[in-house]
Amino acid sequence: MSILIDEKSRVVVQGITGGAGVFHTKKMLEYGTKVVAGTSPGKGGHEIEGVSVYDTIEECVKEQGADVSVMFIPPRFVLDGAIEAIEAGIRLLVVIPEMIPVHDMLKIRLAAVKKGCTVIGGNTAGLISPGKCNVGIMPEITFKQGRIGIVSRSGSLNYYVADTLTKSGLGETTCVGLGGDPILGSTFSDILPMFENDPQTEGVVIVGEIGGVYEEEAAGAIKKMKKPVVFFVAGRNAPKGKRMGHAGAIVEGDMGTADSKIRAMKEAGAGIAYKFSEIPGLFGSKVGTGR
């Protein structure tokens, strides 16, 4: 098992005829991901890497049974494309582009919650269930099917953590890159219960970053989990970030620093890793070693 994507996922690539669309369609197909369709309005009827191109996602869903979509389109078109995917019944939408207007992300989240769609990103490298399905732009090299789920804001840290887990023999069930934009389609709290409910996942690594409040907010979800959680945060030594005015302070209080995140995670019962290499050990005997 895994979460969100597996060997049955039927993926549509939004913006398949662009440079990045073509390149990553090829990469995903090589990995074994079932890329079943692509969209490019006005170019319906063409083919890219053997994949049929349609004008609308509605057609990809109806004719190819697509249920996952990954976007390679300019940020200003993400809102329209995301609402289209959500309305068409896509259940997982992966937003690769970065620099999406925050007001647009609010609208996307609202539509997604209403229709029960999970949106990942923007500014994400995507997600991978090793050996089954890779949706986005993550390099497959460090990932190996195994026992641990990873949920990370950063793509690059995701790789380092997976590398560590793979080398330790634990391996990964699914690695989810939440994305680097200030407002994300999904948060740690949204993903953690999925790992908790996934029979194959034995533990979860949360990879956080300074800024924002998504790590602190995750504490509630962690407390509800039986599976062990390890937390790694980047930015303990970063210069103190600038506040978004008084309103930011009023809404987010003292949250957003590495300290506040570590404190919240500790309090919720997560193990805290200060180096990548500490991560496997923190699961201790709670998960099988798999060696």
Partner 1 sequence: MRLFEFEAKKLIKDEGIPVPEGRMAEDVSGVKKIFSELGGAPVVIKSQILAGARGKSGGITFAGTAEQAEEEAGRLLGSKIREFPVKNVLIEEKVKIAEEFYLGVTIDRMRYKIVLIACAEGGVEIEEVAKSSPEKIKKLAFDANEDFYPHHGLVIARRLGLSGDKMKEFGKIASKLFKAFKKYDAKLLEINPLVYTDDGRWVAVDTRMSIDEDALFRQKTLVELGVEGRHEEGELTPRELEAREAGIPYLDLDGNIGMFPGGAGMGIASIDLITDLGGSPANFMDSGGGPTPERLARMLKLLVDNPKVDVIFGARFGGVSRCDVFAEGVIMYLKDEKPEKPMIMRMTGNMWKEGLEMFEKAKAESPGLFEKIKIYGIETPIEDVAKEAVEAADEISAGKGVVR
Q: From residue 283, how far is each of 33, 85, 139 by CA, in Å? A: 30, 38, 25
Which range touches partner 1 (CB under 8 A), out of 3-11, 53-61, 191-199, 222-230?
Answer: 53-61
Q: Which residue in 46, 45, 43, 94 sits closest to 66, CA to CA?
A: 94
What's the rounded Cα separation, in Å, for the pair 157 and 27? 21
Q: Is 42 left (phi over 0), alpha (psi -120 to 50) or beta?
A: left
Q: From residue 268, how far is each of 51, 143, 188, 224, 289 by CA, in Å? A: 46, 28, 13, 9, 24
Under the binding rule (CB under 8 A), the answer on residue 104 touching partner 1 is yes
Q: From residue 22, how far is each of 122, 136, 238 by CA, in Å? A: 19, 12, 37
Asked if 24 is an active-site residue, the reply is no
Under the binding rule (CB under 8 A), the answer on residue 197 touching partner 1 is no
From candidates 6, 29, 49, 139, binder to partner 1 by CB under 8 A: 139
Interface mask toward partner 1 for 114-133; x: CB under 8 A: -----------x--------
Q: DSSP alpha helices (H): ranges in the chain? A: 19-31, 57-64, 78-88, 102-115, 155-168, 188-197, 214-223, 245-252, 258-268, 279-283
Q: Is residue 207 a contact partner of residue 281, using CB atoms and an 8 Å limit?
A: no
| Residues near partner 1 (CB under 8 A), total | 75
Measure CA 18 to chain center. 22
From candidates 52, 118, 158, 173, binder to partner 1 by CB under 8 A: 158
Which range touches partner 1 (CB under 8 A), out of 191-199, 206-214, 259-267, 282-290?
Answer: 206-214
Under the binding rule (CB under 8 A), the answer on residue 89 touching partner 1 is no
Instruction: Considering only residues 253 through 282, tell me which ones interact with partner 1, judged by CB under 8 A.
Output: 253, 274-277
Token pair, residue 222, equals 């962690």
- Residue 59 or 198: which CB sits closer to partner 1? 59
Token pair, residue 240, equals 């103190």
- Residue 103 or 286: which CB sits closer to partner 1? 103
- Residue 3 or 79: which CB sits closer to partner 1? 79
Catalytic residue among 24, 46, 103, 246: 246
Under the binding rule (CB under 8 A), the answer on residue 199 touching partner 1 is no
Under the binding rule (CB under 8 A), the answer on residue 94 touching partner 1 is no
From candidates 71, 138, 221, 264, binder to partner 1 by CB under 8 A: 138
Q: How far is the CB of 4 from partner 1 (least distance, A)?
A: 19
Beta strands across the sheet bearing 35-39 = 47-48, 51-54, 35-39, 11-14, 68-71, 92-95, 118-121
Which range touches partner 1 (CB under 8 A), out of 3-11, 29-37, 192-200, 251-259?
Answer: 251-259
Under the binding rule (CB under 8 A), the answer on residue 175 touching partner 1 is no
Under the binding rule (CB under 8 A), the answer on residue 58 touching partner 1 is yes
Residues annotated as catalytic (active site), given as ranges = 246
